[in-house]
């Protein structure tokens, strides 16, 4: 914020202090994002079932990896149990 940046320049006497502040906050944000980010690439959208053309294909996908097919189901049950 401008208030923090003004304070940093005043307190340190360094006009580049806001740049160091911004770089530090960005690094902290990147670390937090890297730790908490869960990739959903290649998965069905949360709440939707896998897209298939036939019932045979649906049964085949469910047999191969049932936990991966409905990956969001367990999470939704935990949320409902916590209410």
Interval 28-82: pLDDT, tens = 999 999 988 877 776 666 666 667 788 888 777 777 766 666 666 777 777 788 7
Residue 26, pLDDT above cutoff 70: yes
Same domain? For 54 and 79 the reply is yes
6 C-beta neighbours (distance < 10 Å), count = 12
Same domain? For 49 and 82 the reply is yes
Q: State the number of CA atoms in the 13 A half-sphere of 12 facing the CB.
A: 14
Same domain? For 46 and 77 the reply is yes
pLDDT at 44: 63
pLDDT at 37: 85
Same domain? For 55 and 80 the reply is yes
pLDDT at 83: 64
In the chain, how many domains are there?
A: 2
Residue 18, pLDDT above cutoff 90: yes
79 vs 83: CA distance, rounded Å:
7
**Domain limits for position 75:** 42-83
Same domain? For 53 and 77 the reply is yes
Q: Is 53 helix (H, G, I), strand (E, B) or coil?
A: coil
């Amino acid at each position: 914020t401008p208030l923090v940046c003004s304070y940093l320049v005043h307190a340190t006497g360094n006009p580049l202090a806001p740049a160091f502040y911004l770089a530090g906050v960005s690094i902290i944000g990147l670390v937090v994002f890297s730790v908490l980010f869960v990739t959903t690439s290649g998965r069905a959208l949360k709440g939707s079932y896998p897209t298939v053309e036939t019932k045979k294909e649906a049964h085949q996908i469910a047999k191969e990896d049932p936990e991966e097919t409905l990956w969001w189901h367990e999470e939704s049950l935990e949320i409902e149990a916590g209410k």
